Amino acid sequence: MAAKPFPILFIGPTRIGDAVLASGLIKKLADEAPGARFTIAVGPAAAPLFAEVPGLDDLIVMEKRRGSGHWLALWNRVRSKHWALVIDMRGSATARFLRTDRRSGHRKLGGEPVHKVIEAARLLTLEDEPPAPFLFTSDEIAARAAELVGEGGPILAMGPASNWLGKTWPIERFGRVAIELLDAEGPMAGGRLMILGGPDDARYVEPLARTLSRDRLIDLTGQVDLLTAYACLKRARLFVGNDSGLMHLAAAAGIPTIGLFGPSDDRLYAPWGPDTRVVRGPREFDQFKAIDPDLNQTIGHMMDLPVDTVVEAARELLTATEPGDA
Protein backbone atom coordinates (compact mmCIF):
# COMPACT_ATOMS: atom_id res chain seq x y z
CA MET A 1 0.00 0.00 0.00
CA ALA A 2 1.34 3.40 -0.95
CA ALA A 3 2.20 5.69 1.95
CA LYS A 4 -0.20 8.52 2.70
CA PRO A 5 1.09 11.82 1.26
CA PHE A 6 3.20 13.78 3.73
CA PRO A 7 3.26 17.37 2.40
CA ILE A 8 6.34 19.35 3.41
CA LEU A 9 6.91 23.06 2.85
CA PHE A 10 10.58 23.99 2.89
CA ILE A 11 11.32 27.73 2.90
CA GLY A 12 15.02 27.87 2.20
CA PRO A 13 17.91 30.25 1.62
CA THR A 14 18.44 32.75 -1.14
CA ARG A 15 22.16 32.22 -1.72
CA ILE A 16 23.61 29.19 -3.47
CA GLY A 17 26.12 28.30 -0.75
CA ASP A 18 23.57 28.47 2.06
CA ALA A 19 21.14 26.37 0.03
CA VAL A 20 23.76 23.67 -0.60
CA LEU A 21 24.63 23.55 3.10
CA ALA A 22 20.95 23.07 4.00
CA SER A 23 20.26 20.49 1.29
CA GLY A 24 20.95 17.55 3.59
CA LEU A 25 17.63 18.20 5.31
CA ILE A 26 15.78 17.50 2.06
CA LYS A 27 17.74 14.27 1.56
CA LYS A 28 17.03 13.18 5.13
CA LEU A 29 13.28 13.76 4.75
CA ALA A 30 13.15 12.15 1.28
CA ASP A 31 14.81 9.03 2.70
CA GLU A 32 12.93 8.74 5.97
CA ALA A 33 9.51 10.41 5.69
CA PRO A 34 7.07 7.96 4.03
CA GLY A 35 5.04 9.68 1.36
CA ALA A 36 7.13 12.87 1.48
CA ARG A 37 5.93 15.47 -1.02
CA PHE A 38 7.93 18.68 -1.24
CA THR A 39 7.07 22.27 -1.93
CA ILE A 40 10.34 24.21 -1.91
CA ALA A 41 10.49 28.00 -1.81
CA VAL A 42 13.93 29.56 -2.32
CA GLY A 43 15.61 32.51 -4.03
CA PRO A 44 16.21 32.58 -7.81
CA ALA A 45 19.91 31.72 -7.58
CA ALA A 46 19.33 28.66 -5.39
CA ALA A 47 16.17 27.30 -7.04
CA PRO A 48 17.89 25.19 -9.75
CA LEU A 49 19.62 23.14 -7.04
CA PHE A 50 16.31 21.51 -6.11
CA ALA A 51 14.87 20.78 -9.56
CA GLU A 52 15.44 17.01 -9.29
CA VAL A 53 14.24 16.42 -5.71
CA PRO A 54 12.08 13.26 -5.65
CA GLY A 55 8.48 13.91 -4.69
CA LEU A 56 8.72 17.56 -5.73
CA ASP A 57 5.24 19.05 -6.12
CA ASP A 58 6.22 22.69 -6.51
CA LEU A 59 9.40 24.74 -6.76
CA ILE A 60 8.60 28.35 -5.85
CA VAL A 61 11.12 30.96 -6.95
CA MET A 62 10.97 33.85 -4.51
CA GLU A 63 11.88 36.87 -6.60
CA LYS A 64 12.38 39.79 -4.23
CA ARG A 65 9.63 42.39 -4.56
CA ARG A 66 9.13 45.85 -3.20
CA GLY A 67 7.47 46.07 0.20
CA SER A 68 8.09 42.39 0.96
CA GLY A 69 5.70 41.49 -1.84
CA HIS A 70 7.51 38.17 -2.36
CA TRP A 71 6.29 37.02 1.05
CA LEU A 72 2.71 37.92 0.19
CA ALA A 73 3.06 36.01 -3.08
CA LEU A 74 4.35 32.97 -1.19
CA TRP A 75 1.47 33.20 1.30
CA ASN A 76 -1.04 33.19 -1.52
CA ARG A 77 0.57 30.07 -3.02
CA VAL A 78 0.68 27.97 0.16
CA ARG A 79 -1.99 29.20 2.56
CA SER A 80 -4.81 26.91 1.43
CA LYS A 81 -2.98 23.67 2.16
CA HIS A 82 -2.70 21.77 5.44
CA TRP A 83 0.96 20.84 5.80
CA ALA A 84 2.41 17.88 7.65
CA LEU A 85 5.64 19.83 8.22
CA VAL A 86 6.78 23.39 7.60
CA ILE A 87 10.51 24.13 7.77
CA ASP A 88 11.30 27.83 7.59
CA MET A 89 15.00 28.64 7.41
CA ARG A 90 14.20 32.34 7.05
CA GLY A 91 12.27 32.68 10.32
CA SER A 92 9.46 34.45 8.49
CA ALA A 93 6.06 35.50 9.81
CA THR A 94 4.47 33.74 6.84
CA ALA A 95 5.26 30.28 8.16
CA ARG A 96 3.85 31.02 11.60
CA PHE A 97 0.30 31.42 10.27
CA LEU A 98 0.11 28.33 8.08
CA ARG A 99 -1.93 25.27 9.03
CA THR A 100 0.54 22.53 9.85
CA ASP A 101 0.99 19.53 12.12
CA ARG A 102 4.55 20.54 12.88
CA ARG A 103 6.45 23.76 12.38
CA SER A 104 10.18 24.41 12.67
CA GLY A 105 11.61 27.87 12.11
CA HIS A 106 15.00 29.47 12.33
CA ARG A 107 15.81 31.15 15.63
CA LYS A 108 18.85 33.19 16.56
CA LEU A 109 20.67 31.52 19.44
CA GLY A 110 23.40 32.93 21.62
CA GLY A 111 26.83 31.44 22.17
CA GLU A 112 29.63 30.63 19.76
CA PRO A 113 28.89 30.64 16.04
CA VAL A 114 28.12 27.21 14.60
CA HIS A 115 28.53 25.88 11.10
CA LYS A 116 25.58 26.43 8.76
CA VAL A 117 25.12 22.66 8.34
CA ILE A 118 24.66 22.30 12.09
CA GLU A 119 22.42 25.36 12.19
CA ALA A 120 20.17 23.75 9.56
CA ALA A 121 20.23 20.40 11.39
CA ARG A 122 18.89 22.07 14.53
CA LEU A 123 15.60 22.68 12.73
CA LEU A 124 14.95 18.93 12.95
CA THR A 125 16.92 18.38 16.19
CA LEU A 126 19.61 16.54 14.23
CA GLU A 127 22.62 18.57 15.40
CA ASP A 128 24.29 15.47 16.90
CA GLU A 129 24.27 13.82 13.46
CA PRO A 130 23.85 16.68 10.99
CA PRO A 131 22.89 15.51 7.49
CA ALA A 132 25.66 16.24 5.00
CA PRO A 133 24.83 18.39 1.99
CA PHE A 134 23.39 16.37 -0.88
CA LEU A 135 21.90 17.29 -4.26
CA PHE A 136 19.69 15.10 -6.41
CA THR A 137 20.49 14.78 -10.11
CA SER A 138 19.06 12.78 -13.00
CA ASP A 139 20.56 10.21 -15.35
CA GLU A 140 20.36 12.82 -18.10
CA ILE A 141 22.42 15.28 -16.07
CA ALA A 142 25.02 12.61 -15.30
CA ALA A 143 25.26 11.70 -18.99
CA ARG A 144 25.69 15.36 -19.96
CA ALA A 145 28.48 15.74 -17.39
CA ALA A 146 30.25 12.67 -18.76
CA GLU A 147 30.06 14.15 -22.25
CA LEU A 148 31.43 17.51 -21.13
CA VAL A 149 34.29 16.08 -19.09
CA GLY A 150 35.30 13.30 -21.45
CA GLU A 151 38.26 11.02 -20.86
CA GLY A 152 41.77 11.91 -19.79
CA GLY A 153 44.02 12.48 -16.81
CA PRO A 154 42.94 13.52 -13.31
CA ILE A 155 40.95 16.75 -13.14
CA LEU A 156 41.88 19.78 -11.07
CA ALA A 157 38.71 21.83 -10.71
CA MET A 158 38.93 25.51 -9.85
CA GLY A 159 36.38 28.15 -8.88
CA PRO A 160 38.44 31.35 -9.09
CA ALA A 161 35.60 33.92 -9.01
CA SER A 162 33.54 35.23 -6.12
CA ASN A 163 30.70 37.67 -5.53
CA TRP A 164 33.01 40.21 -3.87
CA LEU A 165 36.56 41.34 -4.64
CA GLY A 166 37.43 41.17 -0.95
CA LYS A 167 37.32 37.37 -0.81
CA THR A 168 38.69 36.71 -4.30
CA TRP A 169 42.22 35.29 -4.53
CA PRO A 170 44.17 36.83 -7.45
CA ILE A 171 43.52 34.97 -10.69
CA GLU A 172 47.20 34.70 -11.60
CA ARG A 173 47.84 32.78 -8.38
CA PHE A 174 45.27 30.19 -9.37
CA GLY A 175 47.28 29.77 -12.56
CA ARG A 176 50.48 29.22 -10.64
CA VAL A 177 48.80 26.59 -8.45
CA ALA A 178 47.47 24.83 -11.55
CA ILE A 179 50.96 24.70 -13.07
CA GLU A 180 52.53 23.42 -9.83
CA LEU A 181 49.99 20.60 -9.53
CA LEU A 182 49.58 19.62 -13.19
CA ASP A 183 53.08 19.91 -14.66
CA ALA A 184 55.31 16.90 -15.32
CA GLU A 185 56.73 16.93 -11.78
CA GLY A 186 53.46 17.71 -10.00
CA PRO A 187 51.22 15.34 -8.04
CA MET A 188 48.58 15.51 -10.81
CA ALA A 189 51.01 15.20 -13.72
CA GLY A 190 49.26 14.81 -17.06
CA GLY A 191 45.97 15.99 -15.58
CA ARG A 192 43.45 18.48 -16.86
CA LEU A 193 42.11 21.79 -15.56
CA MET A 194 38.38 22.36 -15.16
CA ILE A 195 37.23 25.96 -14.61
CA LEU A 196 33.76 26.75 -13.33
CA GLY A 197 31.92 30.02 -12.83
CA GLY A 198 28.91 32.02 -13.86
CA PRO A 199 28.30 33.84 -17.16
CA ASP A 200 29.68 37.09 -15.72
CA ASP A 201 33.00 35.41 -14.88
CA ALA A 202 34.03 34.49 -18.45
CA ARG A 203 36.39 37.42 -19.02
CA TYR A 204 37.79 37.25 -15.49
CA VAL A 205 38.95 33.62 -15.86
CA GLU A 206 40.67 34.13 -19.23
CA PRO A 207 44.21 34.33 -17.74
CA LEU A 208 43.65 31.02 -15.96
CA ALA A 209 42.22 29.41 -19.10
CA ARG A 210 45.45 30.30 -20.93
CA THR A 211 47.55 28.42 -18.37
CA LEU A 212 47.31 25.07 -20.17
CA SER A 213 46.88 23.93 -23.77
CA ARG A 214 43.31 23.57 -25.01
CA ASP A 215 43.44 19.77 -24.97
CA ARG A 216 44.02 19.89 -21.21
CA LEU A 217 41.36 22.51 -20.48
CA ILE A 218 37.67 22.05 -19.63
CA ASP A 219 36.32 25.59 -19.41
CA LEU A 220 32.71 25.41 -18.25
CA THR A 221 32.48 29.05 -17.17
CA GLY A 222 28.96 30.25 -17.90
CA GLN A 223 28.24 27.06 -19.87
CA VAL A 224 26.39 24.81 -17.42
CA ASP A 225 23.63 24.99 -14.83
CA LEU A 226 24.30 24.27 -11.16
CA LEU A 227 23.29 20.60 -11.16
CA THR A 228 25.38 19.88 -14.25
CA ALA A 229 28.33 21.67 -12.61
CA TYR A 230 27.78 19.47 -9.55
CA ALA A 231 27.76 16.32 -11.71
CA CYS A 232 30.95 17.46 -13.46
CA LEU A 233 32.63 18.12 -10.11
CA LYS A 234 31.93 14.52 -9.08
CA ARG A 235 34.44 13.53 -11.76
CA ALA A 236 37.24 15.77 -10.46
CA ARG A 237 40.16 14.69 -8.29
CA LEU A 238 40.56 18.01 -6.43
CA PHE A 239 38.84 21.38 -6.15
CA VAL A 240 40.55 24.65 -5.24
CA GLY A 241 38.47 27.80 -4.96
CA ASN A 242 37.39 30.87 -3.04
CA ASP A 243 34.71 30.72 -0.38
CA SER A 244 31.71 30.56 -2.71
CA GLY A 245 28.73 28.49 -3.73
CA LEU A 246 30.98 26.51 -6.08
CA MET A 247 33.21 25.53 -3.18
CA HIS A 248 30.18 24.12 -1.35
CA LEU A 249 29.04 22.33 -4.52
CA ALA A 250 32.45 20.66 -4.76
CA ALA A 251 32.42 19.52 -1.13
CA ALA A 252 28.84 18.23 -1.51
CA ALA A 253 29.97 16.29 -4.59
CA GLY A 254 32.34 14.40 -2.31
CA ILE A 255 35.63 15.41 -3.92
CA PRO A 256 38.65 16.67 -1.96
CA THR A 257 38.03 20.39 -1.57
CA ILE A 258 40.27 23.28 -0.57
CA GLY A 259 38.52 26.51 0.37
CA LEU A 260 40.54 29.73 0.32
CA PHE A 261 39.43 32.01 3.13
CA GLY A 262 40.13 35.56 4.21
CA PRO A 263 37.32 37.97 5.14
CA SER A 264 34.70 35.25 5.63
CA ASP A 265 34.01 33.17 8.71
CA ASP A 266 35.10 29.56 8.26
CA ARG A 267 33.41 28.65 11.54
CA LEU A 268 30.15 29.10 9.64
CA TYR A 269 31.16 28.46 6.04
CA ALA A 270 34.05 26.00 5.91
CA PRO A 271 33.54 23.36 3.21
CA TRP A 272 31.75 20.43 4.87
CA GLY A 273 33.16 16.93 4.94
CA PRO A 274 36.21 14.90 5.99
CA ASP A 275 38.13 15.50 2.74
CA THR A 276 38.04 19.28 2.92
CA ARG A 277 40.50 21.90 4.10
CA VAL A 278 40.36 25.61 4.93
CA VAL A 279 43.45 27.54 3.87
CA ARG A 280 44.17 31.02 5.19
CA GLY A 281 46.95 33.51 5.08
CA PRO A 282 48.38 34.90 8.32
CA ARG A 283 45.17 36.71 9.38
CA GLU A 284 42.06 35.32 11.05
CA PHE A 285 38.52 36.44 10.22
CA ASP A 286 38.28 38.85 13.16
CA GLN A 287 41.32 40.74 11.91
CA PHE A 288 39.59 41.41 8.60
CA LYS A 289 36.47 42.57 10.42
CA ALA A 290 38.56 45.07 12.36
CA ILE A 291 39.61 46.91 9.20
CA ASP A 292 36.45 46.30 7.14
CA PRO A 293 33.58 46.07 9.66
CA ASP A 294 30.79 45.73 7.08
CA LEU A 295 32.82 43.46 4.78
CA ASN A 296 31.98 45.50 1.71
CA GLN A 297 35.02 47.59 0.86
CA THR A 298 36.76 47.29 -2.49
CA ILE A 299 39.92 45.83 -1.00
CA GLY A 300 41.87 42.77 -2.15
CA HIS A 301 41.89 41.16 1.27
CA MET A 302 43.31 37.88 -0.05
CA MET A 303 46.67 39.24 -1.18
CA ASP A 304 48.54 37.85 1.84
CA LEU A 305 47.69 34.21 1.06
CA PRO A 306 50.82 32.79 -0.64
CA VAL A 307 50.78 30.35 -3.53
CA ASP A 308 53.11 27.98 -1.66
CA THR A 309 50.63 27.65 1.21
CA VAL A 310 47.87 26.59 -1.16
CA VAL A 311 50.10 24.19 -3.09
CA GLU A 312 51.30 22.57 0.13
CA ALA A 313 47.71 22.10 1.32
CA ALA A 314 46.74 20.62 -2.06
CA ARG A 315 49.63 18.16 -1.99
CA GLU A 316 48.74 17.08 1.56
CA LEU A 317 45.07 16.58 0.69
CA LEU A 318 45.90 14.63 -2.48
CA THR A 319 48.14 12.32 -0.46
CA ALA A 320 45.56 11.91 2.30
CA THR A 321 42.85 11.00 -0.19
CA GLU A 322 44.90 8.74 -2.46
CA PRO A 323 42.85 5.67 -3.39
CA GLY A 324 43.97 2.58 -1.47
CA ASP A 325 44.89 0.62 -4.60
CA ALA A 326 46.84 3.47 -6.19
Residue 261 lies in a domain: yes
Residue 29 lies in a domain: yes
How are the residues of the chain apportioned to helix, strand and coil, as percentages rounded to the nearest 5?
A: 40, 15, 45
Residues 196, 249, single domain; the answer is: yes
- Identity at 109, one-letter amino acid code: L
Provide the pLDDT for residue 259. 98
Residue 222 lies in a domain: yes
Residues 15, 63, single domain; the answer is: yes
Q: Is 283 helix (H, G, I), strand (E, B) or coil?
A: coil
Residues 102, 150, single domain; the answer is: no
| Domain CATH code at residue 276 | 3.40.50.2000
Residues 286, 175, single domain; the answer is: yes
Residue 215 lies in a domain: yes
Residues 38, 174, single domain; the answer is: no
Domain count of the fold of the chain: 2
Distance (Å, whole) CA 100 – CA 282? 49
DSSP secondary structure of 5-64: PEEEEEE--SSHHHHHHHHHHHHHHHHHSTTEEEEEEE-TTTGGGGTT-TTEEEEEE---
Distance (Å, whole) CA 142 – CA 150? 12
Residue 133 lies in a domain: no
Residues 112, 146, single domain; the answer is: no
pLDDT in single tens digits along all 326 residues of the chain: 578 999 999 999 999 999 999 999 999 999 999 999 999 999 999 999 999 999 999 999 999 898 889 999 999 999 999 999 999 999 888 888 999 999 998 776 667 889 999 999 999 999 999 999 999 999 999 999 999 999 999 999 999 999 899 999 999 999 999 999 999 999 999 999 999 999 999 999 999 999 999 999 999 999 999 999 999 999 999 999 999 999 999 999 999 999 999 999 999 999 999 999 999 999 999 999 999 999 999 999 999 999 999 999 999 999 999 987 44
Residue 135 lies in a domain: no
Residue 89 near residue 107 (C-beta atoms within 8 A): no
Provide the pLDDT for residue 203. 94
Q: How confident is the model over 57-84, as pLDDT tens digits?
A: 999 999 989 888 999 999 999 999 999 9
Residues 67, 187, single domain; the answer is: no
What range does the domain containing 178 cover?
Answer: 142-320
Residue 1 lies in a domain: no
Residues 206, 248, single domain; the answer is: yes
Provide the pLDDT for residue 112. 83
Reported pTM: 0.95
Residues 118, 251, single domain; the answer is: no
Last residue in a domain, options 124, 153, 172? 124
Residues 107, 148, single domain; the answer is: no
Provide the angle, in degrees to the nearest 10, between the axes of the packed helices 139-149 and 226-233: 60
Residues 306, 214, single domain; the answer is: yes
- Positive or negative, the Cα torsion across 222, 227, 231, 233? positive
Provide the pLDDT for residue 326. 44
Mean pLDDT of the chain, nearest integer: 95
Residue 156 lies in a domain: yes
Last residue in a domain, options 97, 124, 151? 124
Residues 150, 254, single domain; the answer is: yes
